[in-house]
Amino acid sequence: MTKHIVTKPFFVVNPKSYLCGEKLLELAILADELSCKHNITIFVTAPYSDLASIAKQTSHIIVTAQHLDGISYGRGMGAVLPESLKNVGVKATFLNHAEKPLTLSALTKAINKANELGILTIVCADSLSEAKAISVLRPDIVLCEPTELIGTGKTSDEDYIQQTNEIIKSMDANILVMQAAGISSPEDVYRTILLGADGTGCTSGIVCAPNPSQMLKQMIESLVEAFTKRRM
């Protein structure tokens, strides 16, 4: 099946379990408006129970699951059936996040199943070596995010960003590279994109901000500004 086309730069709004229901829907609708306004790709993740509602009430964002399992119809009590996500409008999924790590076998099955259904894969890597290994599986996006930096407000250093970018692109130039460790401000977004990332994203920097909507707007503006400057 055909996958949604991801344009650069892209941004991932990833509230994890900080938000659900109406508050999450409001943020998703804002992201939808910003995606249209700036003509950029914005992913929005959500708990499984909110995915259908968000998909029905948005038109531009890529509605994204936090995880899926590489299973088919049949047994799989407690697992996430990919077809169930596809049926409610999910177009992408995270895999192998630090909070939901996968074995190589499970990751391979999940990527293959997502490919079969036309679901984009954002696969997390916490080191240079893991980024290289994951690139062999040809996911759509590799998220380079050292586990020890998640939620700390400390971003990856310049060498790490440039090395992971180079390693992944050398394996497959079509794989998009996302750098998102410690992103907590518009300045972090600007720096990360300027250093060569195809995209970035944020969790606590948005949902824990005094005004999450305003923070999201400012981050998207910084994303566009940095990418424009990089292309000059």
196: left (phi over 0), alpha (psi -120 to 50) or beta: left
| 145 catalytically annotated | yes
Asked whether the beta carbons of 174 and 209 are under 8 A apart, the reply is: no
How many Cβ atoms are within 10 Å of 88's Cβ, its own excluded?
A: 15
Length of the chain: 232
CA Rg value for the chain: 16
* Helices and strands per DSSP (H, E), number in the chain: 9, 8
Q: How far apart (Å, rounded) are the C-alpha atoms in residues 98 and 146?
A: 9
Q: Distance between alpha carbon 19 and the CA centroid of its chain, in Å?
A: 16
Find residue 201's DSSP bridge partners. Answer: 12
Out of 60, 83, 97, 225, the active site residue is 97
Nearest partner of 11 among 231, 227, 195, judged by Cα: 227
Asked whether the beta carbons of 190 and 155 are under 8 A apart, the reply is: no
Out of 83, 145, 166, 225, the active site residue is 145
Structure tokens at 38: 């700036």
Asked whether the beta carbons of 69 and 96 are under 8 A apart, the reply is: no
Q: Distance between alpha carbon 231 and the CA centroid of its chain, in Å?
A: 23
Active site residues: 97, 145
